[in-house]
């Protein structure tokens, strides 16, 4: 919720302030970041660990330990699925501002696109929040994770067809709402699935850190590859095709998980 809410507030704030202040708004965001980190350091008191007995640090075993969960079959497939889905989701969301100016019909001006683009996040927020709350509870009650993760991947993949077949502003909003619902289902249930397939419960922190790396890789690689494809093809249609394939493949990867429901 923190990540999602922060992304919405940042996008809306940037969209509203950019036409007036230009890139100087980055200084305001930098100041907010500094204040929030300083507040955390000052007010979030931690317990001292000076009396904690810890084994001596050895860098070789430390780095080799990061590969332990990836040697576990089920964890590896869930991790691979997360990379694919976040990759596809990042591909579909990164270039929305530019698509408003050149992909859709009628195209918008930079001022219009800057004003409307943050509203896409606002429009998708209610569905995402409701989906997160309902999907998490439903998964716990049913004792099932895989069907919901597969369903979220399928819905997200289908959402990519809307602007691919119907390149309009309304289609971008419809896609954003559908993808937001899918992502809301995915976030809590996929995290629970990772916990179910942890190879070593005593090293949960390490292994869930590796799981989070899957999200970071997908979000980082998506815009890079999509940008290269746009440069090569000269159009944005390939973005939606790429996102559709990746998110659909994310759902298929979950079928390879054996020791989880």
Q: Which residues of the chain have pLDDT under 70?
A: 4
Question: Are residues 31 and 81 both part of a single domain?
Answer: no
Residues 6+ apart with CB under 8 A from 228: none
How many Å separate Cα 68 from the centre of its chain?
A: 24
Q: Which range marks the domain in which residue 111 is found? A: 72-254
* Residue 207 resides in a domain: yes
What pLDDT is stored for residue 189 in this prediction?
A: 95
What pLDDT is stored for residue 249 in this prediction?
A: 95
* Residue 53 resides in a domain: no
Compute the C-alpha angle 221/101/97, nearest 5°.
40
What pLDDT is stored for residue 96 in this prediction?
A: 84
How many Å separate Cα 158 from the centre of its chain?
A: 17
Contact (CB, 8 A) for 155 and 180:
no
What pLDDT is stored for residue 167 in this prediction?
A: 93
What pLDDT is stored for residue 13 in this prediction?
A: 76
What pLDDT is stored for residue 202 in this prediction?
A: 81
Question: Are residues 135 and 223 both part of a single domain?
Answer: yes
What pLDDT is stored for residue 181 in this prediction?
A: 94
Note the pLDDT tens digit of each residue in 92-145. Answer: 788 888 899 988 999 898 878 877 887 888 888 889 989 999 999 999 999 999
**How many angstroms separate the CA atoms of 65 and 53, rounded?**
20
Question: Are residues 85 and 17 both part of a single domain?
Answer: no
Note the pLDDT tens digit of each residue in 160-183. Answer: 999 999 999 999 999 999 999 999
- Cα–Cα distances in angstroms (integers) from residue 12 to residues 21, 26, 232, in the given order: 14, 14, 31
């Amino acid at each position: 919720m923190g990540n999602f809410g922060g992304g919405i507030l940042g996008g809306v704030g940037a969209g509203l302030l950019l036409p007036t202040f230009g890139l100087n708004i980055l200084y305001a965001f930098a100041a907010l970041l500094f204040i929030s980190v300083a507040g955390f350091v000052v007010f979030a008191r931690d317990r001292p660990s000076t009396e904690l007995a810890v084994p001596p640090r050895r860098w070789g075993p430390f780095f080799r330990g990061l590969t332990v969960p990836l040697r576990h079959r089920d964890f590896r497939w869930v991790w691979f699925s997360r990379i694919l889905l976040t990759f596809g989701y990042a591909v579909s969301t990164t270039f929305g501002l530019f698509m408003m100016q050149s992909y859709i019909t009628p195209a918008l001006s930079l001022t219009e696109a800057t004003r409307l683009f943050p509203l896409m996040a606002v429009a998708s927020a209610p569905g995402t929040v409701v989906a997160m709350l309902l999907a998490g509870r439903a998964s716990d009650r049913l004792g099932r994770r895989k069907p919901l993760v597969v369903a979220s991947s399928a819905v997200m993949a289908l959402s990519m067809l809307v602007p691919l077949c119907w390149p309009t502003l309304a289609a971008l909003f419809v896609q954003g709402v559908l993808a937001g619902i899918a992502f809301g289902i995915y976030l809590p249930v996929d995290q629970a699935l990772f916990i179910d397939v942890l190879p070593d419960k005593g090293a949960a922190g390490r292994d869930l850190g590796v799981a989070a790396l899957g999200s970071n890789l997908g979000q980082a690689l998506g815009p890079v590859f999509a940008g290269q494809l746009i440069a090569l093809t000269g159009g944005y249609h390939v973005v939606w095709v790429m996102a559709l394939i990746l998110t659909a493949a994310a759902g298929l990867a979950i079928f390879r998980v054996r020791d989880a429901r």
